[in-house]
Amino acid sequence: MPEYTGYVGKSLEFLKTNNVAVGSSVKIQTDLIYPGIIMPRYEHADENHVVIKLNSGYNVGLEIDQIKKIEKLPTNEKIIEEQPRLEKNSSLPKILLLSTGGTIASKVDYRTGAVTPILTADELNSSVPELAKMANIDTEMLFAEYSENITPDHWLQISKKLEEFSSSDYKGIIIAHGTDTMHYTSSFLSFALAGYPIPIAIVGSQRSSDRASSDAAINLIGATQFLVESKTNGVFVIMHHDESDETVACHFGTRVRKNHTSKRNAFQTIGDDPAYIIINDKILQNQKDEYFKKKEFKPKTNLDTKVALVKYHPGYDPNLLEKIIEMGYRAIIFEGTGLGHIGNTIYDVVKKANEKGIFLGMTSQCIDGRVRMTVYESGRDLLDLGIIPLENMIPEVALVKAMWALGNSKDIEGVKELMLENIASEMSH
């Protein structure tokens, strides 16, 4: 039965009249010619357009009144066959690839043209045959979630799984992950598994792995090379470094964030160069040796999500902060202005939070730089109210660290101690 999801009225009649439906391969002529696949539409879309997925992978909406001709093409459904399991080479090191979903573990459904998170870890491995020449890669699929659906419970699942392999003979571990919340996951793993004996590479892509413009292959190849050849440990986010297809960056898991919505080189180390750069098959260390000192591995994988991230802005309503206190939150991370400031209209509520034993941490809305709360009188007032400056910790990282610190401390003093200890390079020198 033909599918017309999202098409109503004029657009639905257009599809039926021309004997095409969602998933049909077509060639549409307006002022230009557009070959592609009819896509489903959103539930509340208008009735004046049809949407097709072009061969480039991009979607385009075409106004029906501007269409001069539509031609239905013979079906060109691409069947992705099951890949044979790759042969192992006993002379190569072992790598574990864990898949959690996201664009890197997605492919196009060639019936609808939609991107769906359905690649298994095995398929992901098989889709990049270069990996088999570098390492023997074992695979496991933990779950298949877009990263906006990843929760702290997923962080715990990942960390518990990684704990299982802390004494294994793997050279390193790759975690395939969606990019939108990748730096939250990398932060938690950096704290929970500080001192992990082998390197962990969290890898994503901005374009799905079966598109010509995908960055999945180069990111996976770079991550595998890094795990095989590097002598370090720790948690790294490994992604495209620039617009070329030759350079991959390895960022510390606590010093990185996604700074662009769609570019392949969206991830950047804040305030410094990436820890490593991989270019022309060479791994270049950018950071000082002091950042790579190995610590004793003592996993601390508990957490408490009763942490609020408050982005201060002019006109911020103190009642919102009151509500956070009433809801039983145990820590508040302020994303303050400039050197670490919030308006005096909420000072009374801040004082109340401090008196209730809530941890109060200050970060900055500025992309780069360090919190300095002793420069101005207002900052010194906030110090007197119990707010703790968190140096140049990224706000999102401070949020995750506070969750982790709450879960692994007996009291507020223990939380303060952990928050001010540089566990995993979250505060750069």
Write out the chain's pLDDT in tens, 429 residues.
678 888 989 999 999 999 999 889 999 999 999 998 898 876 566 889 998 888 766 778 899 999 999 999 986 444 344 455 567 888 999 999 999 976 554 554 444 444 544 455 566 666 677 888 899 999 898 988 888 999 999 999 999 999 999 999 999 999 999 899 999 999 999 999 999 999 999 998 875 554 545 677 889 999 999 999 998 999 999 998 987 778 999 999 999 999 999 888 899 999 999 999 999 889 999 887 777 777 899 999 999 999 999 999 999 999 999 999 999 999 999 999 999 999 999 999 999 999 999 999 999 999 999 999 999 999 999 999 999 999 999 999 999 999 999 999 999 999 999 999 999 999 987
Q: Annotated catalytic residue: which of 53, 100, 103, 210?
A: 103
Question: Hey, what are 98's tokens?
Answer: 């864990």
> Tokens for 368?
């780069």
**What is the per-residue pLDDT for 311?**
98
Which of the following is catalytic: 179, 232, 247, 254? 179
Detail the DSSP E strand segments found in 92-132.
94-99, 107-108, 115-116
Instruction: Quote the pLDDT of residue 366.
Output: 97
Domain 307-420 sits in CATH 3.40.50.300: no
Find how far residue 377's CA is from the centre of its chain.
38
Backbone dihedral region for residue 6 (phi beyond 0: left; psi -120 to 50: alpha; all else: beta): left
pTM comes to 0.81
Told to judge if 75 belongs to the known catalytic residues of this protein, a careful annotator would answer no
Residue partners of 410: CB distance under 8 A and separation at least 6: none
What's the chain's length in residues?
429
Q: Is domain 94-292 given the CATH code 3.40.50.1170 in the classification?
A: yes
Q: Is 103 noted as a catalytic residue in this protein? A: yes
pLDDT score recorded for residue 12? 92
pLDDT of res. 280: 82
Q: What is the pLDDT of residue 344?
A: 97
179 has catalytic annotation: yes
- Residue 370 DSSP code: -
How many other CB atoms are found less than 10 A from the CB of residue 397? 28
Pairing of strands 247-252, 136-141: unpaired
Q: What is the pLDDT of residue 1?
A: 64
Residue 5: which of 53, 28, 38 has the closest Cα?
38
- CA 393 – CA 382 distance, rounded (Å): 18
Exactly one of 180, 210, 215, 304 is catalytic; which is it?
180
Fold observed for domain 9-72: SH3 type barrels. (2.30.30)
Sequence ranges of the domains in the chain: 9-72, 94-292, 307-420
Catalytic-residue membership of 120? no
Give the pLDDT of residue 375. Answer: 96
Q: Give the pLDDT score at 214.
A: 64
Contact residues for 217 (Cβ-Cβ < 8 A; gap 6+): 127, 128, 130, 209
Report the b/e string of 197-216 with b at 16+ CB within 10 A: ebbbbbbbbbbbbbbeebbb
- Nearest alpha carbon to residue 54 among 227, 222, 213: 213
Query: Which residue among the candidates 53, 107, 171, 258 is catalytic per the annotation?
Result: 258
pLDDT at 201: 97
How buried is residue 37: exposed, middle or buried, by Cβ count under 10 Å (0-12/13-18/19+)?
A: buried
Domains 9-72 and 94-292 share a fold: no
Contact predicate 401/309, CB 8 Å = no
- The whole-angstrom separation of Cα 306 and Cα 176 is 28
